[in-house]
Amino acid sequence: MENEAASDLSRLASLLKSKPEKVMLFIEGEVPRYDISAGNFIIFEYLKIFARNGYRVIFWPHDRKRPEPYSNELEQMGVQVVSGQLSFQDFIEEFGGFLDVAILCRPDISACYIDPVKANASARIIYFAHDLHFLRERRSALARASAAEAIQALMTEAAELAVMRKAEASLFFNRSEIGVVAREAPEVKATLIPWIQGLNDRGRLPFADRRGLVFLGGFQHQPNADAVTWFHDAVYPLIKNEIHNIGVKVIGGHVPAEIMELDCEDFRVLGHVSSLDEPLQQARIFIAPLRFGAGFKGKIAMAQSYGLPVVTTGIGAEGMELKNGETALIAGNAAGFARQVCRLYRDEELWQQISGNSINYVKKMFSPEKAGGVIMPVIEGAAAAGSGAQTGGEPASKIEPGSDLDLVLNSFDILSRIYSRSREEVAQLNDFIQGLRQHIEQLGGEIKNRSDEIESIYTSRSWKIAVNLRSIRRLFIFTDKQ
């Protein structure tokens, strides 16, 4: 292990002491396996942009694993993957002075690294938010009526905002989330950056040759598991009442047992597939029945890149600027979702309109050139100074009174106050218990002292009684002899 760490240090030393012009440290949970999840895909795409713009990128995976062919592909485009036994503290103490920029992902992972980076490097620190974790957890708690999840969401919020406050800028894909951050922590500098998605529309099948519905999403992400379960139980039976021979394909890795149990002839759970071309080119509709979540829904952009029309919920459409009836169909409940699916499945003219609009939408919104033009000024330090600055994009969207977002935030404002009060009361109770323990210890000390004193008196008096008894016995023995 020591040899491996020494080898890592030597390799990095030769890399950095060649004095590359610009050096970036990028910290993420794992090496991005771009064909597994939208989160992995978007990291891989942005790493390409950084490398193309002259950065020598050092990629530090939190799990310290080196999956192939992904790691090799990164290194071929100039991104150095650090794996093995080298400790981060050794790395940052040795090479922190070489860093110009450090980008950290995810609140739990960022919390492990941000303080050592700040202490050992003068690098600009940027937080890369895949989504607003505490918002996703808040929505999950409300959708599932879970008190435990609600408390977890409050704890996540404190950790996530703490990381953002320590960073010079925080990057988001969802304009609505910038509005949430502006409300909850106005001092945080939040920046909207574009999603990246190329077109996959070659060889599109016509409407009449397509069949069924398709869902895409990794099941390590809880909103996807909930979406499939809800669709299967609440929506699909309503659709089957109208269109009897309609089938569903569910695609995505890390499938849990409860989702596999749904697999049957009409409702196929396929798991991870090596290529999305066949399922997305053959389906008639892409479904994204999300009841909670946050961030940008990469699955929807992927479907649109194939010209595949989407039916989703308000949560799915949030932050994507989708227009109901133009670039997607949007529904608010199970009956509405079923109606939208049946309408689109039967209406070729509407299908063609949304399919064409989806292709144009992807061309306009999700090019790598647009993404690079937005993010590089932030990376290079052109972020606007001042409280709550949003750079590189349009201002945060306003949180409308009565909207889902407003409801979630207000609900948790009340819960947060209750939680804070409860924590204060628990702290007071702990103080009382601590004082009581100290009092008991003092009483115990006094009791022990009194006990020692009583034992001493008892021992002393017992000795005197014993002496007297021996004297009396001797007296009797002497008398008897007389």
Residues 45 and 12: beta-carbon distance below 8 Å: no
In one-letter notation, the amino acid at residue 437 is R
Q: What is the DSSP secondary structure assignment for residue 312, as one 8-state letter?
A: E
Strand partners, 251: 216, 271
Which ranges of 145-235 would DSSP assign to H, the alpha helix?
147-166, 175-184, 222-230
Ordered domains of the chain (ranges, CATH): 2-192 (3.40.50.2000), 207-366 (3.40.50.2000)
Using DSSP bridges, classify how beta strands 329-331 and 285-288 pair: parallel, antiparallel or unpaired.
unpaired
Closest CA to 301 of 186, 132, 173, 464: 173
CB atoms within 10 A of CB 389: 13
Cβ(259)–Cβ(267) under 8 Å?
no
Integer CA distances (angstroms), 444 to 90, 431, 441, 452, 474, in order = 49, 20, 5, 12, 44
Give 394's DSSP letter.
Answer: P
CA-based diameter of the chain, in Å? 139
Which pairing describes strands 329-331 and 310-313: parallel, antiparallel, or unpaired?
Answer: parallel
The runs of H, that is alpha helices, within 57-132 are: 70-76, 88-95, 107-120
Give, in order, the Cα–Cα distances in Å from 32 to each of 46, 66, 79, 349, 475: 11, 10, 12, 39, 101
Report the run of H or E that residue 229 belongs to, with start and end.
Answer: helix 222-230
Which stretches does DSSP call E strand in 267-359? 267-271, 285-288, 310-313, 329-331
Rounded distance between C-alpha atoms, residue 374 and residue 390, angstroms: 12
Report whether 392 contacts 192 (CB < 8 A): yes
Cα angle, residue 206 at apex, residues 204 and 207 outer, rounded to 5°? 125
- 343, burial (CB in 10 Å: exposed 0-12, middle 13-18, buried 19+): middle
- Please report how many Cα atoms fall inside a 13 Å half-sphere around the Cα of residue 244, on the Cβ side: 0
- β-strand partners of 439: none
Place of tokens 């995810």: 106
Cα 444 to Cα 381: distance, rounded to the nearest angstrom: 63
Please give the distance of CA 38 from its chain centroid, rounded to a whole number: 13
- Cis-peptide into 69, omega within 30 deg: yes
Rounded distance between C-alpha atoms, residue 395 and residue 290, angstroms: 26
Angle of helix 175-184 relative to helix 404-481, nearest 10 degrees, comes to: 50
If you search the block for the tokens 């690294």, which residue do you land on?
113
Type of residue found at 302: M
d(CA 14, CA 83): 16
- Helix (H) / strand (E) element for 471: namely helix 404-481
Residue 16 φ/ψ, nearest 5 degrees? -85, -30
Look at residue 462 in the predicted model and tell me its pLDDT.
Answer: 61
* H or E stretch at 127: strand 124-128
Fill in the DSSP letter of residue 324.
Answer: B
Q: Which positions ≥6 away from 120 have C-beta within 8 Å? A: 92, 93, 96, 97
Q: Which positions ≥6 away from 30 have C-beta within 8 Å?
A: 40, 61, 62, 63, 65, 67
Q: Which residues contact 126 (CB under 8 A, 6 or more apart)?
A: 101, 102, 103, 104, 167, 168, 169, 170, 171, 378, 379
**Residue whose entry in the numeric block shows the structure tokens 């992995």:** 40
Structural tokens at position 254: 């890390």
Instruction: Give the pLDDT score at 405.
Output: 63
User: How does pLDDT run along the chain (482 residues), one tens digit per residue?
Assistant: 555 556 667 778 777 777 667 999 999 999 999 998 899 999 999 999 999 999 999 999 999 999 999 999 999 999 999 988 889 999 999 999 999 999 999 999 999 999 999 999 999 999 999 999 999 998 888 888 888 888 888 899 999 999 999 999 999 999 999 999 999 999 999 999 999 999 998 778 999 999 999 999 999 999 999 999 999 999 999 999 999 999 999 999 999 999 999 999 999 999 999 999 999 999 999 999 999 999 999 999 999 999 999 999 999 999 888 999 999 999 999 999 999 999 999 999 999 999 999 999 999 999 999 999 999 999 988 433 333 444 444 455 566 655 666 666 666 665 665 555 555 555 666 666 676 677 677 777 677 666 666 666 656 666 566 556 566 555 555 445 44
CA distance 412 to 406: 10
